[in-house]
C-alpha cells in the first residue's frame, strides 16, 4: 500500500511539473485567440469570414487564416506590450500575416480591453483609417 501511494505521489509530481508556459507566464495574452470580428472604417475590405486566429507564445505571434478546404495561410512575427499598446512586427517577408487579417507588416495597436477571455485592439493606420479587432480566447 505504501508503494502505491508513493507511485501516485510521484506521478502527480511529474504531471504538475509539466504544466508550464515556455519562457514563463506572459500574462493574459498567452495561447490561441479567435478573431471574432474585424471592423474597418475608412477603407474598403472584404467582409470578415470569422476564420483568423492569433497565437501568442513568449514574444512570438502567429496569425493564421483557416481556409474552407482545411488549408491555412500563416504568418509569424514578434510582439511586445507596453502599457495599453501592443506592438507587432513581421520581419520576415516570406512569413507575413494573411491578407484577411488586415494587419500590416509592422503596427502598434491600442489595447481597449484585455482580460483572460476577451480582447479588443484598435489599429490607427497611416492613411487615417481605423481597424478594430475583437478576439475571444479559443
69: left (phi over 0), alpha (psi -120 to 50) or beta: alpha
Kindly list the domain boundaries of the chain, sorted by start residue: 24-137
103 and 53 Cβ atoms separated by less than 8 Å = no
42 pLDDT band, cuts 50/70/90, is confident
Instruction: Please tell me the predicted confidence (pLDDT) of residue 59.
Output: 93
What is the spatial distance between Cα 101 and Cα 37, in angstroms, rounded to a whole number? 10
pLDDT per position as a tens digit, 56-95: 998 999 999 999 888 999 999 999 999 999 999 999 999 9
Per-residue cell: 108: 502598434
Per DSSP, 118 falls in state E
Please give the grid coordinates belonging to residue 121: 485592439
The pTM (predicted TM-score) of the whole model is: 0.80
Which helix or strand (DSSP H or E) is residue 5 part of?
Answer: helix 2-17
The residue ranking higher by pLDDT, 43 or 78, is 78
**For 112-132, what is the mean pLDDT?**
95
DSSP designation for 9: H
Q: Which helix H or strand E contains 55, and what residues bound it?
A: strand 52-57
Average pLDDT over residues 22-39: 84
> d(Cα 79, Cα 49) in Å, to the nearest integer?
25
CATH of domain 24-137: 2.40.128.280
Does residue 124 carry a pLDDT above 60? yes
Residue 17 predicted with pLDDT over 90: no
Question: Is pLDDT larger for residue 42 or for residue 106?
Answer: 106
Q: DSSP states of 30-53 as a string?
A: -EEEEEEEEEEESS--PPP-S-EE
* Confidence at residue 20, expressed as pLDDT on a 0 to 100 scale: 52
- Tell me what pLDDT residue 43 has: 82
Burial of 15: CB neighbours in 10 Å, binned 0-12, 13-18, 19+: exposed
Q: What confidence tier does 3 reach under pLDDT thresholds 50, 70, 90? A: confident
Amino acid at each position: 500500500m505504501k508503494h502505491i501511494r508513493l507511485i501516485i505521489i510521484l506521478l502527480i509530481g511529474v504531471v504538475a511539473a509539466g504544466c508550464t508556459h515556455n519562457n514563463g507566464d506572459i500574462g493574459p495574452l498567452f495561447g490561441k485567440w479567435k478573431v471574432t470580428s474585424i471592423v474597418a472604417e475608412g477603407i474598403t475590405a472584404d467582409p470578415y469570414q470569422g476564420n483568423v486566429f492569433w497565437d501568442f507564445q513568449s514574444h512570438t505571434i502567429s496569425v493564421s487564416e483557416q481556409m474552407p478546404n482545411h488549408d491555412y495561410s500563416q504568418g509569424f512575427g514578434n510582439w511586445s506590450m507596453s502599457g495599453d499598446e501592443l506592438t507587432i512586427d513581421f520581419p520576415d517577408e516570406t512569413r507575413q500575416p494573411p491578407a484577411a487579417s488586415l494587419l500590416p507588416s509592422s503596427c502598434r495597436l491600442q489595447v481597449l480591453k484585455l482580460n483572460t477571455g476577451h480582447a479588443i485592439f484598435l489599429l490607427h493606420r497611416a492613411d487615417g483609417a481605423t481597424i478594430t479587432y475583437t478576439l475571444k480566447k479559443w
